[in-house]
Structure 1
Amino acid sequence: MMRVRLDWRRPAALALASAALAGCAAGPDYRKPDVSMPAAWKTEAPWKPADPSDAAPKGEWWSRFGDPQLDALQRKALADSPTLAVASARLAQARSALAAASASLLPQVTLNSRDARQRIAANRPLNNYNAPNFSTVQNDFVLSAGASYELDLFGRVQRAVEGAQASAEQVQADFENVRLLLGADLAAAYVNLRTADAEIDIVSRSLALQRRVLDLATSRHDLGATSGLDMAQQQALVDATLTQLELLGRQRAQFENAIATLTGTPAPSFSLPAAAGALRPPEVPIGIPSDILERRPDVAAAERAMAVANAQIGLASAAYYPSVILSANYGDESRVLSQLFSTPSLIWSVGATLTQTLFDGGRIRANVSSARAAHEAAAATYRRVVLSAMQEAQDGITGMAKLEKAHAQALKAAESASRVLDLALTRYEGGVATALDVITAQQSLLNAERQAAQVLGQRLLASVGTIRALGGGW
């Protein structure tokens, strides 16, 4: 059985020429923008920036707080958070889109088969006035293989792949940003919960002291040493403190429910035992401002968005130029199945298709202008994200230093208030001071201790915020 031998050298040569010309891509080549960055952060005493070392935690930055409960919650959030699951699915989608775009760089090979019995109409248009048509009913068996390849002479496919690559990298950065924000939100909720625990412990201890003073005032009243006013004033203080305790319990419950949601757990089935032990702010290695460009995932995502927009300019500009597609088909067609693979049934074709837009009413030009405007918007967004990142980091660095001083002062105030209460109680028991002096001293101590706990909580939140602003792990 004879077969016609096809010469594939000509399409192969055209493919090689396409590869050689692929570097002549339409549109501008992407260049990473230069951003003016300061040489150092503004710091003040008692700020002591730590030096990163190989032994320091890299990804799990929350472990620097030294709380096993927080570590366990972070691991659960990474495993079960639906927010992170959404970001992960979008990342998988972007990678699949990149694989689909990259497939355009390779020839497309298809296998075609048709098995039909058909009737041809007698009234179909004539091919020749001297040859009338007749209606026929016959079989049509076809088995063929085809291949097509677009010569990327002007970089349309190249720009599409570049755009898909940059888009996948942008989604990867978005995933890392979601992961960072999830960890920061969880750490902030946990800090708020432990701050509420510390305040509840302070208020509970103060309430116990107030009740002892109430017992003392009641005894003195029963002995006739004081009027009922002392006892009534102290009872009012106890009632007010009980109100504060209930409000703190409500706040704690809200933080606990927030932690449940962040870790992917239904709030009604989640609980954390109270722990009055204070967390301590960790040392944060701040590095230099330019590190933000490499460490912050939202900055990386904004930069990749610029690359996507740049590739879109090239993709839109490529429409000005013709597209060339090489195609080849080889197979058999017969109306008799037994003769399908005989020589008379052989079919083949080799060719090229060139398409050039001659008039489109300005559509291509408008698309290019739109792509350029989108690139300008992406560049402005990138600059805005960098500036916001710098502001957040500087706010965190300044805030940590100020709050450290404020916490030290709050502790001194609490010590002074404690001494005042001791003196007031001694004088009251000796009949020198009035009940109002004791009540005032008790309220001052409670306020000072709660303020110290709140400032410590703010220090911890500032640490979390600064770590987030600097990009998380180091």
Structure 2
Amino acid sequence: MMILSLRIKMSLAITLLSLAGCAVGPDYVKPVTPVPAQYKEVGKTKWVLADPQDNMDRGQWWLIFNDPKLNSLENQLNLANQNIVNAEANYQQSRALVDEARAAFYPTLSGSLGVNRQKGGGGGSNSASSASSALSSSSSSTSSSGSGSGSGSGGGFSSSGSIFTISSVFLDASWEPDIWGLVRRTVEASVDTAQANAALLASTRLSQQATLAQTYFQLRNLDADQKLLDDTVIAYKKSLELTLNRYRAGVDSRVDVVQAQTQLESAESSAINNHISRAQFEHAIAVLVGQLPENFSLPPNPLTQTPPPIPLVIPSLLLERRPDVAQAERMMAEANAQIGIAIAAYFPTLTLTATGGLQNTSLSQLISASSETWGEGAQLTDLIFDGGLRSATVRAARAGYDANVATYRETVLSAFQGVEDNLAALRYLKQQAVVQAQAVTSADLALKLVLNQYKSGTTDYLSVIVQQATAFSANKIAIDITGQQMVAAVGLIKNLGGGWNAASLK
């Protein structure tokens, strides 16, 4: 009989294990996304293609600009930026939730140790048996069966009306086999979410790093503007002094002096106003690196450099280099797993339980054969009527998956748009910089000629004012083009993924 019982149990275990190999719901298949053969905005510009197997430090992309101060700021940002800290905490939380989900694969085991002193009622041994059941509520199905009657030694209890003490030690086990794959789909969803949060962490870090670099170059561009404004104020002061001398000599009119004075004061006003923007950019950098603005300052350093050559990732590899694309793809996989979780609710749940322990009215005889008590059982539970709840949950899960597919495809399109936008910006800004440099040369030469004419008395001061404004505007535009080039270069690196690779999620 024992051999037959053992065979039945082994057959049941094998059946459960075989059933546990299936998981309801659709298996995830990554949607096919069209990828262009080449970037539209590359044009005839020669770009260095990035090696997919390069051994470069993927995290420190800003080193390409060879700016020690930027390097220092980026290192501070990686340690103290609160958006990155927040994303890191969310990622660690999602990793813990993966372990929490995996715990459902295993049985639960609990233990109890109790001593209960009680006076028996008129029911004799039945009262003692009731006390035994009350003592071990988690093992109620076996406690009563393990308690004897009468006042003898071993597992018996005191007779009616007497005071007795029940000592017990119990272990209870419970397990829900993952027959329909509910746990596996839940773990799958948790892993996908954790990987999505890992990609979000990388995306947040890259975004903050790029924002810092762009803000830093914009601040240095303002320093270049400030130098131009300060030099302009000095030049206008000299022009005013020249005009005053000519006015005192009776050569120029009072109008010329007033015009020169007005031009100088306008330049001084612009120079003061430039400090407002610089201060705000400096404060923004302080927050990015996790410092109070009052404790942070950057010395003036006019921007003069132009963007270095940037390795260009070929289109077929771009989706593997973008953390935001990886995040959207992982969220799509998580939504697919949610469909399986919803479908699993249609199937019954099997719960296997087992309990065993020792129970006796005599503590000295607790560890004895007569004190042993045990039990085992199985329960199959299913929901008979839910008013359409499960059907609605499945439909909602499928709709959620469709929404995530759309989000993924939109993210892919935006990824290519971002690269194309910055390629176009760099290409046209480079062309504009060449033309603008010629404009600066022409404007400076024209100003020199007009000043000489003014000094010789062959032209009036209004011509000088017009040409000074033209020269200032030409130089200002040239400076701003340089700043725009650096911002676009950072934007291109960001849109190329900053050297990040999806393999880091595995």
CA distance in 2, matches of 1:208, 1:12: 96
Structure 1: segments with no counterpart, 5+ residues: 128-132
1:386 is aligned to 2:412: yes
Give the CA deviation at 1:334: 2.2
In structure 2, relative to structure 1, the CA distance for the partners of 1:445 and 1:109 (3 Å cut) is same
Tell me which amino acid in the other structure corresponds to 2:220: R
Give the CA deviation at 1:141: 2.4
Match of 1:87 in 2: 87
CA distance in 1, matches of 2:160, 2:375: 28
1:423-434 aligned at under 5 Å gives the runs 423-434=449-460
1:356 is aligned to 2:382: yes
CA distance in 1, matches of 2:296, 2:468: 36
Tell me which amino acid in the other structure corresponds to 1:330: G
Match among 318, 324, 338 for residue 298 of structure 1: 324
CA distance in 2, matches of 1:121, 1:290: 82
Give the CA deviation at 1:122: 6.6
Match of 1:48 in 2: 46
Match of 2:363 in 1: 337
Q: Secondary structure at the match of 1:265?
A: coil
CA distance in 1, matches of 2:471, 2:484: 20
Range with greater deviation from structure 2 (255-264 or 226-235): 226-235
1:39 is aligned to 2:65: no
Match of 2:470 in 1: 444
In structure 2, relative to structure 1, the CA distance for the partners of 1:449 and 1:381 (3 Å cut) is same
Residue by residue over 1:118-142, the C-alpha shift from the partner in whole angstroms, topping out at 9 and shown as x without a partner, is 467779xx99xxxxx9777543322
1:68-467 aligned at under 5 Å gives the runs 68-118=68-118, 138-467=164-493
In structure 2, relative to structure 1, the CA distance for the partners of 1:246 and 1:292 (3 Å cut) is same
- Tell me the TM-score normalized by structure 2: 0.87
Tell me which amino acid in the other structure corresponds to 2:239: V
Q: Secondary structure at the match of 1:199?
A: helix
Q: Is the 8 A contact 2:76 2:289 kept in 1?
A: yes
Q: Is the 8 A contact 2:222 2:274 kept in 1?
A: yes
Give the CA deviation at 1:338: 2.1
Give the CA deviation at 1:78: 0.5
| Percentage of identical aligned residues | 37
Give the CA deviation at 1:115: 2.9
RMSD: 2.4
Aligned length: 464
Give the CA deviation at 1:116: 3.0
CA distance in 2, matches of 1:343, 1:173: 59
Q: Is the 8 A contact 1:15 1:151 kept in 2?
A: no
Give the CA deviation at 1:198: 0.7
Q: Secondary structure at the match of 1:347?
A: strand
Residue by residue over 1:388-445, the C-alpha shift from the partner in whole angstroms, topping out at 9 and shown as x without a partner, is 1121111111111111111221211111110011101111111112111111111111
CA distance in 2, matches of 1:310, 1:135: 64
Structure 2: segments with no counterpart, 5+ residues: 128-158, 501-506
Range with greater deviation from structure 2 (47-56 or 243-252): 47-56
Range with greater deviation from structure 2 (272-281 or 162-171): 272-281
Residue by residue over 1:372-393, the C-alpha shift from the partner in whole angstroms, topping out at 9 and shown as x without a partner, is 1111111111111111112111
Residue by residue over 1:297-341, the C-alpha shift from the partner in whole angstroms, topping out at 9 and shown as x without a partner, is 111111111111111111111111111122222211223322221
- Tell me the TM-score normalized by structure 1: 0.92
Match of 1:62 in 2: 62
Range with greater deviation from structure 2 (358-367 or 183-192): 358-367
